[in-house]
């Protein structure tokens, strides 16, 4: 009997070990399959902020949700995938900023962006700006994603980009619902034409509740005389009239 036990117990343990390894291998395959499909569906919906891990068929969702309701939307999407049993929401919510500031400035071939933008607007802004202003390098190391932007923030970014494409030196600054546009066209070629185009662009912009303050120096009109055409009065003495100018 003791001999039988000496063979039976180790044999049972070996069978259990093989079964356990087999089950573990199947679990790994299931988790890998679910992870791959979950990441694919999140990417299709542009939810690259979301991170997902699986323990068996149970998912844990992490990451910084860019908007209120974004985590719930991602969880609901994952639950539509075959094989996902539950989704545990362990996400954080992106911080809101107040006051909400954003700015874009240009100095010749250099563009600088500062402040905050919503997560998705921050993702697409660089390519949009570079497509419109292709002759300038964009520096945006001082920009962060944040909630709390005015509803028309995308329109403000679009307007700023369009203006600075025609304004070699200028700045567009947004503080909450106030947009300030500053710059100069005094010494620019076709300054008057550029100024008119800028004004038309501003007039056509749909900024909703955002108030616009324009501080662009107008160029001299072509009808105005240049400095060389003005009479030279350097020889005249203040307060005196030359005798030959008196009426007889």
Q: Give residue 123's pLDDT band: very low, low, confident or very high (50, 70, 90).
A: very high
User: Which is more confident, 244 or 166?
Assistant: 166
Q: What is the pLDDT of residues 201-224, one digit of tens each?
A: 999 999 999 999 999 887 655 554
pLDDT over 80 (residue 68): yes
- pLDDT recorded at residue 10: 54
How do residues 105-115 score in pLDDT, each as one tens digit?
A: 999 999 999 99
What percent of the chain is predicted at pLDDT more than 90?
63
Q: State the average pLDDT for the chain.
A: 82
Query: What would the mean pLDDT of 12-28 be, rounded to a whole number?
Result: 53
> Is the torsion defined by CA of 91, 97, 101, 107 positive or negative?
negative
Q: Which residue has the tokens 């362990």?
A: 90
> Do 9-93 and 101-217 share a fold?
no
Average pLDDT over residues 46-73: 96
CATH class of the domain whose range is 9-93 = alpha beta
For residues 133 and 4, the model is more confident at 133
pLDDT at 89: 97
Report the alpha-carbon distance of residue 149 to residue 181 in Å, rounded.
Answer: 18
- Architecture label for domain 101-217: 3-Layer(aba) Sandwich (3.40)
Per-residue pLDDT at 190 exceeds 50: yes
Confidence band of 23 (pLDDT split at 50, 70, 90): very low
Domains of the chain by residue range: 9-93, 101-217
Please report the pLDDT score of residue 184 as a whole number. Answer: 82
Query: Would the pLDDT of 15 be above 70?
Result: no
How many residues are given for the chain? Answer: 248
How far apart (Å, rounded) are the C-alpha atoms in residues 215 and 199? 11
């Amino acid at each position: 009997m003791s001999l039988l036990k000496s063979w039976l117990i180790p044999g049972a343990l070996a069978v259990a070990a093989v079964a356990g390894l087999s089950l573990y291998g199947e679990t790994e395959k299931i988790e890998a399959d679910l992870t791959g499909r979950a990441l694919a569906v999140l990417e299709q919906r542009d939810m690259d902020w979301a991170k997902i891990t699986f323990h068996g068929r149970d998912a844990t969702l992490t990451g910084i949700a860019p908007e209120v309701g974004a985590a719930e939307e991602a969880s609901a999407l994952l639950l539509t995938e075959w094989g996902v049993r539950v989704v545990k929401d362990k996400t954080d919510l992106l911080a809101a900023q107040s006051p909400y500031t954003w700015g874009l400035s240009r100095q010749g071939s250099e563009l600088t962006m500062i402040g905050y933008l919503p997560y998705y607007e921050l993702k697409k802004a660089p390519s949009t700006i570079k497509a419109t202003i292709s002759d300038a390098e964009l520096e945006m190391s001082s920009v962060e994603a944040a909630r709390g932007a005015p509803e028309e923030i995308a329109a403000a970014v679009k307007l700023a980009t369009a203006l600075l494409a025609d304004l070699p030196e200028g700045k567009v600054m947004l503080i909450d619902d106030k947009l300030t546009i500053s710059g100069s066209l005094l010494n620019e070629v076709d300054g008057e034409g550029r100024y008119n185009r800028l004004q038309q662009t501003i007039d056509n912009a749909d900024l909703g509740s955002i108030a616009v303050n324009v501080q662009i120096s107008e160029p001299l009109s072509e009808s105005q005389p240049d400095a060389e055409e003005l009479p030279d009065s350097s020889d005249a003495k203040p307060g005196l009239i030359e005798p030959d100018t008196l009426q007889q």
